[in-house]
Structures are given as structure tokens and as C-alpha cells.
Chain A
Amino acid sequence: MNPEQVVEQAVKFGLKLGADEVAASMMRERRKMLRFSNNSIIVMQSWDHTVPAVYLTSKRKRAAARVGDPDFDALMDVMKTLKVAMDISKPGAVESTLPKGPFKYEAVPHTYDAKIPEMTDELTGLAEEAINAALSEGAKRSSGTLVTNEWEKFVKTSTGSEGKDRGTSIELSTRAFFDDDASGMGVSCATRLADFDPTHAAKEAAKIACQAKNPVFGDEGKFTVIFGPSIMAEFLSRVADFASAYFVDLGLSFLKEKVGQKVASEELTLVDEARMPAGINSCSFDDEGYPTRNTRIIDHGVLKTYLHSSYSVAEYGGELTGNSFFAGGTWGLTPIPLNVVVEPGDIRFEELLEEVKNGLYLTNNWYTRFQNYQTGDFSSICRDGAFRIENGRIGQPLKGLRISDNMPRILQSITSLSKERQWIKWWEVETPTYLPHIAVEGVGITRATK
């Protein structure tokens, strides 16, 4: 049975079981990943998966299943169990209906490159290019991950939506070391090989690593900080997640009951550009079959909308945003951001440094944890190059720093953004994020006892 037939039969079977509405999707992914460390390949991995998923509704009851088995008998078997479990469950808070199709889908330009899925031996060459670029820039060792992906998706709903879509991507995140405590990270990601630049990413990583050598312990206190794109991508992709009605509903978002309110500085405009040409996660429709669109989440500091599924629109009001996907694990249809995009400022990075004059420049982070998602109190560890900004220039490298602050306060304290932007997607930033350097006042910094 081909994928179109699987989703069609799944919808028919769901209705036959007695569901009021059915959405079925089938995703095939062919992915390769080359991992290297200490200038040497450690493993090349390859995946070929076909995963059907279904969503059923019956009055105010809902159920979903992800079936990592392309055999249609397995899917039918799971759907029978699912329907029985759904019937036993109590009704949800509201009655929702899937979007009424059919819809006309417009393809997003530049999201597929046939050369990418064919690469295997070439991946070694690209990794070698990245390693050599880092070493030539002065790094002592280089590590990283190079990933190619080709995906193809089919969606059909009982409410008249039907579509198929496909895309490719190639991503490198690489970390260069001058010493154990002097490192830097660079990222390049694209949907087309022509836009992919591993050398630039590796050189950027090595440049930061070499600048970061001989760091000293930084001071605690409040500082004006310029956050590099990697670190702000980690923060702002989380903010976009917090705008998902699903996280609001779980009580895991400080954006709860904030639609229409000023939640950030006027300098910040945060958009989910699901239809960005050559956007890493750009696609034509969501898993409810609703056409994707570009959604302004925060517009000049004001929260404009949550990201929605058909259920969350019924619960919270507002408009469908085309963000409903079978996202990870068994979590059913969940609103998620696709491409998080921050509108740029109008000054160059060097001018941003001059504007800040004295403060900190932090390039990367990891391990962000919240005390309370509703208040937004959190801390996060600085990783890779961290520097003092001294008289408008990058100065003394620092180590041992932790950002200990409150996310709503950070959003409200953004003062300036650079005009250069770049894509960030790596281990800590799963949602591709396109953004500039961003300056924030009064950032809390703490450090461990020596």
C-alpha cells in the first residue's frame, strides 16, 4: 500500500470504527548523521523510517496514536484499541472540529534539493572541510555533527483536507577547542546545498575558541549583555514554545493570559515564519491539513496570539495558525513553532558593541532550567566563548558564568538588535531560529564557589 492509500484507508477505517472525525498522516524520513570529535569521524548513522499517525475525535473525546510500523494491519490494530480507550475516557473541555477542507496548498519555494539525499561519501568530505577550516583558524581540535534529511509527508482528514509535501535539509553544528576551557561553536543549516557553508561555521567556531583562550573567572552582578545568536535562539525558541496553546494549557508558560499585552520590549518582533522560502522547517500544511502561514507571535513587544490546533482554538478562541503537528513521542496533535524568526535591528554588530560600551558578550549556553514556568525564573550556563565588553570592544575572556534571571524581565529589557542574522539549529535548539545579536540590560550573572 503506498502512503496515499495508507492515509486514505486510515481515515475510512477510523470512520468505520465510529469516530466523528479522523486525521491521518504518514511521514517518511531518510536521514544521515555523521558525528566527529577530536578531528576524527566517530560514527556515520542512517535512518529510513515510515511513521503513520492518526487522530480521532468523537463528540468531545479525542485520541491519537503514532505507529512506527508501516504495516497497515498494525495501524488498524492500534486504531481499534485507541477507539475503545477513547470511548472510555471522559469528554474534553470543549468540542472541536478539524478544519473543513479542501484547501489549496501553495508550495513554499526552495525547500527541496535532490542532491542532499544522495550524499554519503560526500559527507566525509564536508566534515573534513569543516575540521580543516577550524584547524587552519588556530583551533587545536574540532567536533561536530553533520546531518542530512529528506522528508515526505502525506495528510488526509475526514473533513476534506488532503495533501503531500516534501523537503530536505543539511545542518552542521561544530565546536572548536583551543583548550579545554576555550571553545566556540558555529552552525550552518540550509534546505539547499548551495546555501550550506561548513567552512564559515567551522571558522566562526575556531575564531571564538581562539579569542576565548586564557579565561578568568567572571564577576557576579547585573550586566548589560550582548547575547550571540546561539544563546538567544535557545531563549527565544523556548518563548515560541511557550506561545503554544498546549504549554499554556499545561500551566508551563509565563505567557498564560497575556495575549494582547506587552510582554517584551518594543524592539522585539518574534514571528513563526512557517512559509519562509528556504526555511529549514517550512512546509505547506499542518497535520490537520490546514495551510501554514507566517504568524506574528510577538509584534513590537505585544503578544498577538498563541500557536493553535483546532482544539486550542475551540478552547481559547482566536484563529487557526497552521501549527498543529504530531509532535514527538505520543503527544498527539500539538501546536508547535516551525521557523522562529526575529526581526533585525538596524545597526551592525560592531556598532552594537560600541553602543553597549561596557558589559558582557556571551556566545552560547546550555542547560536552561526554570524554577517556575509561570513566573519565568530560570538559570542557564554559559558555554563556549564569554567575554567582557570593554570600551566597545570584545575584551577579557571569562569562564564559570551562569545567567540567573527571569525570562519575562529579559524580554522587557531588550535594548538593541543587530542587522545581521543567521540560522541556529543544534542540539540545544531544536526549532530552527533565524535571528541577530541582541543586547539586554541588567542581566543577572552568578557563579559557583571556587
Chain B
Amino acid sequence: MEDLVRHAIESASALGVDYAEARLHIDSGSAFTLNNGVPDPVQLARERGIAVRILVDGAMGFATTNDLSKASLGSTVEIAYRSAKASRRLIAKPIRLSEQKAEEANWETKGRKPLPGVTTEEKFRVLEEIEKNLQPDIVKVAVPSRTLILGDDITERYFANTDGTRIHGKASRVNLLYVLTVYDPGKGTIQRIGQQGQTGGWEQLEQWDPPRLVSDEAKTLGKMLTEGKQAPRKELDLVVGSEVTGIVCHESCGHPQEADRILGREAAQAGESYLKPEMIGYRVGTEAVTVVDDPTIPNSNGFYLYDEEGVKAERRILIKEGVINAFLQNRETGAELGVSSNGSARAVAYDREPMIRMANTFMLPGSYTHEELVEDVKEGVFVKTFMEWNIDDRRYNQRYVGLEAYMIEKGEVTTPVRNPILEITTPRLYGSVDAAGKEVEFEAATCGKGEPSQGAPVWHGGPSIRLRKVRLGG
């Protein structure tokens, strides 16, 4: 496979390009589903293919094929070259790439229990255990809709470019998705779509303890449905759990600090940003707020050691003590903004262009215990998890609707409340944070961006945080 990648680069070089890269993927995956206790079709996917990206006179061409014959490869290089040439006359500003050190590396996520050794029987056994733990006598509530999907995938990638970088990487990932609908005759339904995901082997799934995890979710849903009172609609203090902190960091820090959005590259799709290139140093929050994105966390869902432009991955401090500190950069935006790439280019498959993505985005912890966060809140709400959420395409106006939530009265967490709604701007949100907890937790998610769409596996998380005087409404 390395020969094919090298051959593509040599073919491109012979055409007189300014830059070329080739990336070959060999991917496989499976999904096993129990839907209300009944198996859906067993599903397998396997694909391999190569992408070639070429820069000619400041214009970028990208072509892919899954026919790995030498003839097809030659034709794919030619198409990428022709595509770049065809674009040249409508380039306002030539595309350049930042200078980066040529890298040679071979990396792999090694699980204690490699995924290819896990039998189909074992996968169904896990799903059936979860299903057994969702029965009404255990969760004390009816769960009429239960969809459980256990998936795994392995991706192996070869990368080379005309700068001399040669990378071989291999990662395996396991994930669990569950959709639960809990029903009460007097109260209706409540729904939760939950996800777990990590790189590594089967041992990652085992440590989630899926039957307990999903059963606990159902019990919580039942409690919220049957005991939850209407959430207040007024200004008060709010404590949000790690899951909510994580989605906040992802949506209103990670996305607006993607340099391609800031430069307008995604304007017609995922949108732009409220931030401008010159806003490094802009205060967006209190000193309690430091948000990082780090692809190098072992076994994380967004793990990688080299990005899809062959740049070494690194931790990026996006907001430092409330101040915008850095943007997520690839080589193209790095060159335009006069900085180096910080290794943020990802592609979810061989047939997708590398683009700026988050990996694992989270707020750094503070020094508070959960009790300390709550104890001086006279009247407030603790929102532990969320369901509906969204944010405008400049990442300024956002909404989070709580799922598991409780009143805080005189410093104590008390009765469950339903559907607390926070609609707030980004500076107002980060500007309201006065304390962060000690413990950091992560949630798995799939982040959407790009055209064609690329759903990238990520983690987001952080500690519980406290927001002072925000308005709950909706």
C-alpha cells in the first residue's frame, strides 16, 4: 500500500505541481442492533480507496477512487491536477500551505483485547444483557422503545506528501448508541439518545459496564418523567454537569475557533464565526474558563497522533483564563494567518478532504467539589444532562434544554425539574462562569461538518461549572 501512495506522489510530481499528497485508507466496521429485543440485520462495511490532493499555481484539486489499479491511480492524479488547473482563473488569493517539518512515523492504538478477536456471539451477548436490564421490573418504568446499536471500526491509513512526510497510522474504535423512550400513562414520554465511544480494544466497552449504564439512564428518565416539576423561567444561578459543559465547549468554543470558519471557507454550509482573525486576545469569559482541544489523549474518541496533512498532533489551548488564545489551524489557514498548523486537519474517510476539526474539546477543571459549587446557591437549577440543543451558524446564540435537572434551594439539590431551557449568547455564557469543579468527564459524540458531510468521532467534556445570574426561559 505504501507503494501506491508513493506512486501517486511521484506521478503528481512529474506533472510539475507545487504540492501533492496522497492518503490511502483501508477501513472495516460492523454494527449489531437490537430493536426492542429483536435483532435488526447484521451489518458489515468494508472499503478502501485513495485520495490525491494537488496544489497548482495556488489552486487546489482533490480526487479519489476506490479502484487501486495503477491505471486508475494515474487517472485520479490527472483528474486532481486538471481540477486544480481548471480552478486557477477564479482564485482571488492563491492558496498556500504553512511550512511544516517533514515527519516519518508509524502509530497504532493497541487494545488489550483487539476488536478482530471479539466474536459475534459476544457482541450479541452484550446487547442482550443491556436489553435484560431494561425490563420494567428492574428499571421500575416502561421503556416501550429500546434501540441498542453496538458498532466497531478499524481504520488503517497511509499518508505521503511531496514535502517528504510519510505516516502510517492504525486505529480501532468501539461505540455504543442507545435510544430509549420511557413512557408513563399519566405523563407521556421522555427520550434519550446516548452514546459511548473510545479508541482501543474491547476492554474499553467492558469498562463502560453497558448493562448498568443504560439501565441507570432508563431509571433516571423514569424519575424525570414521573417526578419532574416545571422548571422555573427566570434569572437565577445555574450549575451544569460535565455533559453540558462539554457540549458548550464544543459548540461555542471549538467551532467558532476553527480558522476555516473564521476565514469564511465554510460560509455556505456550516457557517462562519463571531470571531475575526484579529480577535486573539479578546476576552470572552471569566478567568475560570480555560478550554482546550487535545487529540493526544490515549483511548479518547477523537484520538490521533498525526493529522491528515501529516502534521504532528498537539494540545491546543483555545480559551485561556477567559481570553481567546488560539484557533484550530490546518496548513492552509495557518499560511493565511501567518502561523503554523496545529495539526487540526481530519478526514473521516479516504474520499473526504482533510478539513479543520475538533478532536477532544473540554474545559480544564477548577478546585471546587460538587457540594462547594452548590452550597452558596440560594435559588438555582442543577442541569446534569441535556437533550435538544442548537446554535446559530456564527456560534453566538445557543440553546440547551436540560434532561436530568433539579432545583437548588438554599445550597442543596432538591426536586427534579423538567425541560429547563437556557438560551444565551456565547460571551454571556462564558462571562457568567464563576467556578469550575475538580472532576473532568467526557462524552462521545459525532461532530458534523463539511461538504460532503463528515461525521467525526470526538469527545467533549469538562467539570461541572457554575453560572451566575442567567435567565432560564424558552
A123 touches B428 (CB 8 A): no
CA distance A88 to B92 in the complex (A): 58
For B63, the chain A residues whose CB sits under 8 A away are 45-48
B90 touches A124 (CB 8 A): yes
Q: Which residue of B lies closest to A177 (CB)?
A: B267
B188 touches A375 (CB 8 A): yes
B452 touches A68 (CB 8 A): no
Nearest-Cβ distance from residue B240 to partner chain A, whole angstroms:
16
Given A44-B61, A367-B390: A427 and B39 interface contact (C-beta under 8 Å): no
A55 touches B188 (CB 8 A): no
| CB of A15 within 8 Å of the partner chain | no
Given A44-B83, A448-B425: A88 and B45 interface contact (C-beta under 8 Å): no
Q: What mask results when residues 287 to 298 of chain B are scored 1 for a CB within 8 Å of chain A, else 0?
A: 000000000000
The 8 Å CB contact of B66, one of A45, A70, A84, A90, is A70
Size band of the interface chain B makes with A: 35 or more
For B41, the chain A residues whose CB sits under 8 A away are 55, 62-64, 86, 92, 332-333
CA distance A375 to B225 in the complex (A): 14
Nearest-Cβ distance from residue B69 to partner chain A, whole angstroms:
10
Nearest-Cβ distance from residue B467 to partner chain A, whole angstroms:
11
CA distance A397 to B354 in the complex (A): 37
| CB of A101 within 8 Å of the partner chain | no
For A78, the chain B residues whose CB sits under 8 A away are 44, 46
CA distance A50 to B423 in the complex (A): 46
A88 touches B124 (CB 8 A): yes
B38 touches A46 (CB 8 A): no
| CB of B35 within 8 Å of the partner chain | yes
CA distance A131 to B90 in the complex (A): 10
For A250, the chain B residues whose CB sits under 8 A away are 35, 145, 147, 179
A88 touches B121 (CB 8 A): yes
The segment from A33-41, A287-295, A299-307 found at the interface with B is A33-41
Given A69-B66, A449-B428: A329 and B45 interface contact (C-beta under 8 Å): yes
Given A45-B353, A70-B67: A249 and B471 interface contact (C-beta under 8 Å): no
Nearest-Cβ distance from residue A20 to partner chain B, whole angstroms:
14
| CB of A370 within 8 Å of the partner chain | yes
A180 touches B39 (CB 8 A): no
A64 touches B87 (CB 8 A): no
The segment from B268-276, B323-331, B363-371, B377-385 found at the interface with A is B268-276
For B387, the chain A residues whose CB sits under 8 A away are 371-372
CA distance A369 to B390 in the complex (A): 7
Size of the chain A interface, CB-CB below 8 angstroms: 96
| Most B-side CB within 10 Å, residue of A37, A45, A64, A65 | A45
The segment from B305-313, B392-400, B433-441 found at the interface with A is B392-400
Q: What mask results when residues 58 to 85 of chain B are scored 1 for a CB within 8 Å of chain A, else 0?
A: 0111111111000010001001101110
CA distance A48 to B42 in the complex (A): 28
Nearest-Cβ distance from residue B291 to partner chain A, whole angstroms:
20
| CB of B115 within 8 Å of the partner chain | no
A120 touches B82 (CB 8 A): yes
B42 touches A63 (CB 8 A): yes
User: Total number of A-B contacts with CB less than 8 angstroms?
Assistant: 277
Given A38-B92, A366-B271: A68 and B43 interface contact (C-beta under 8 Å): no
A144 touches B124 (CB 8 A): no
Nearest-Cβ distance from residue B446 to partner chain A, whole angstroms:
11
A127 touches B147 (CB 8 A): no
For A82, the chain B residues whose CB sits under 8 A away are 42, 44
Q: Which residue of B lies closest to A77 (CB)?
A: B46
Nearest-Cβ distance from residue A168 to partner chain B, whole angstroms:
18
| CB of B15 within 8 Å of the partner chain | no
For B353, the chain A residues whose CB sits under 8 A away are 43, 45
Given A48-B76, A371-B419, A402-B397: A37 and B90 interface contact (C-beta under 8 Å): no
CA distance A381 to B394 in the complex (A): 11
A450 touches B428 (CB 8 A): yes
CA distance A332 to B470 in the complex (A): 46
Interface of A is mostly: strand
Nearest-Cβ distance from residue B238 to partner chain A, whole angstroms:
12
| CB of A81 within 8 Å of the partner chain | yes
| Most A-side CB within 10 Å, residue of B31, B44, B423, B474 | B44
| CB of A175 within 8 Å of the partner chain | yes
For A50, the chain B residues whose CB sits under 8 A away are 66-67
Q: What mask results when residues 84 to 125 of chain A are scored 1 for a CB within 8 Å of chain B, else 0?
A: 111011111100000000000000000000000000110110
A449 touches B399 (CB 8 A): no
Q: Which residue of A lies closest to B181 (CB)?
A: A251
A81 touches B351 (CB 8 A): no
A367 touches B46 (CB 8 A): no
Given A69-B48, A402-B423: A251 and B145 interface contact (C-beta under 8 Å): yes
A68 touches B48 (CB 8 A): yes
B45 touches A67 (CB 8 A): yes
Nearest-Cβ distance from residue A385 to partner chain B, whole angstroms:
14
The 8 Å CB contact of B392, one of A45, A175, A333, A381, is A381
Q: Which residue of A lies closest to B390 (CB)?
A: A367
Given A47-B351, A124-B89, A370-B388: A330 and B31 interface contact (C-beta under 8 Å): yes
For A349, the chain B residues whose CB sits under 8 A away are none
| CB of B93 within 8 Å of the partner chain | yes
Nearest-Cβ distance from residue A172 to partner chain B, whole angstroms:
10
Q: What mask results when residues 148 to 168 of chain A are scored 1 for a CB within 8 Å of chain B, else 0?
A: 000000000000000000000
B120 touches A88 (CB 8 A): yes
Nearest-Cβ distance from residue A378 to partner chain B, whole angstroms:
7
Given A37-B265, A44-B84, A46-B79: A383 and B48 interface contact (C-beta under 8 Å): no
Nearest-Cβ distance from residue B235 to partner chain A, whole angstroms:
9
| CB of A74 within 8 Å of the partner chain | yes
B47 touches A252 (CB 8 A): no
A44 touches B62 (CB 8 A): yes
For A379, the chain B residues whose CB sits under 8 A away are 388, 390, 399, 401
Per CB-CB distance, the 5 closest pairs between chain A and chain B, nearest first, are A68-B47, A251-B145, A40-B92, A44-B83, A143-B267
Show the binding face of B for A, using Cβ within 8 Å: 27, 29-32, 35, 38-49, 59-67, 72, 76, 79-80, 82-84, 86-87, 89-93, 95, 120-121, 124, 144-147, 179, 181, 188-191, 263-272, 351, 353, 387-394, 396-399, 401, 419, 421, 423-425, 428, 451-453, 470-471, 473-474
18 A-B residue pairs with CB within 8 Å: A33-B451, A35-B268, A37-B268, A43-B60, A44-B86, A45-B61, A45-B62, A45-B63, A49-B64, A68-B49, A84-B120, A123-B86, A124-B86, A131-B90, A141-B264, A175-B268, A329-B45, A383-B271
Given A331-B31, A367-B393, 14 further pairs, Cβ under 8 A: A45-B83, A47-B63, A47-B65, A64-B44, A66-B44, A89-B39, A90-B39, A175-B268, A180-B394, A251-B191, A367-B392, A379-B399, A402-B397, A446-B399
